[in-house]
Amino acid sequence: MLIMATMVHELGHAGMARLLRIPIRRIAIGLGPVIWRRQLRADQEFLLRAFPVGAMIGLPGRLSPSGENSRPLYHDVCVAASGPLINLLLFVGLAVVDGAGVVSPALLPWLRTLALLSAFLGISNLLPIPGLDGGHILMLGASRLGLRLSPREQVVIQQMGLRLVVVLCCGVLFARLMRVL
């Protein structure tokens, strides 16, 4: 179910990118080292990574090689916000379906779990931590205020944020396991 909520999240990003006519250069499933790569088109690739948690889409950089903006800043904010927004909309939609009582009782646990995972994914991705959508929006806001980072610096900051998120998740998992044992 987490994979389904994650796919909905990434489809939110991809749908907004398409709506704004921003090409999608990379689609990746999982985290960690690449274990399989497939060229989809001349300018688009699909990656399968070692750890099947998470996903991402890659867009061309916002700045051209000469340092000019290749698209309006709000386009990137819309793309970043659309993933969490679609997760929250999925949560609301599933809650309405649950409340309407039109779902078989056998499917209710599945539906409620998907709704809660979707809400968690939407809210947690809005945290202002680099590597998450909220961190991306924060960095876009900083660039609007005049902070100029090279593409490489931006990647390093995003990777550090993702590492922090992984460490925090592992810490929570470890604490839960210790409680059980």
Number of C-beta neighbours around residue 156 at 10 A: 13
Map tokens 């680099």 to a residue. Answer: 130
Q: First vs last Cα of the chain: how many Å apart?
A: 26
Check whether 68 has a pLDDT greater than 80: no
Two tokens, residue 138? 């924060």
pLDDT at 63 over 90: no
> Is position 46 within any domain?
no
Phi first, then psi: give them for residue 59, nearest 5 degrees.
-110, 160
Structural domain includes residue 5: no
Q: Has residue 22 been placed in a domain?
A: no
Could you tell me if residue 17 is inside a domain? no
In the numeric block, the tokens 């809400």 are attached to 119
Residue 131 has pLDDT above 90, yes or no: no
- Whether the per-residue pLDDT at 17 is higher than 80: the answer is yes
For the cut 80, the answer to whether the pLDDT of residue 34 exceeds it is yes
In a domain, 161, yes or no: yes
**pTM (two decimals):** 0.83
Q: Is 90 exposed, middle or buried (0-12, 13-18, 19+ CB in 10 A)?
A: buried
Averaged confidence pLDDT in the chain: 90
Q: Given this model, what pLDDT does residue 41 score? A: 87
User: Is residue 42 included in any domain, yes or no?
Assistant: no
Q: CB 83: neighbour CB atoms within 10 A?
A: 29
Kindly tell me if the per-residue pLDDT of 54 is higher than 90: no
Is the pLDDT assigned to residue 20 strictly greater than 90? Answer: yes
Structural domain count, the chain? 1
Contact criterion met (CB below 8 Å) for 43 and 158: no
Given a cut of 80, whether residue 157 has pLDDT beyond it is: yes
User: What local confidence, expressed as pLDDT, does residue 113 receive?
Assistant: 95
Predicted confidence at residue 93, as pLDDT, reads: 96
The whole-number pLDDT of residue 127 equals 93
Cα three-residue angle 111-114-117, rounded to 5 degrees? 150
pLDDT-derived band at 69, boundaries 50, 70, 90: confident
Residue 143, class by beta-carbon neighbours within 10 Å (0-12 exposed, 13-18 middle, 19+ buried)? middle
Does 50 reside within a domain?
no
Range of the domain at 91: 60-180
Sequence-separated (6 or more) residues with CB below 8 Å from residue 4: 114
Task: Summarize the confidence of residues 75-89 as an average pLDDT.
Answer: 97
Phi, psi of 36 (to 5 degrees): -155, 135
Does position 77 have pLDDT exceeding 90, yes or no?
A: yes
pLDDT of residue 48: 93
Stronger pLDDT, 147 or 26, i.e. the higher one: 26
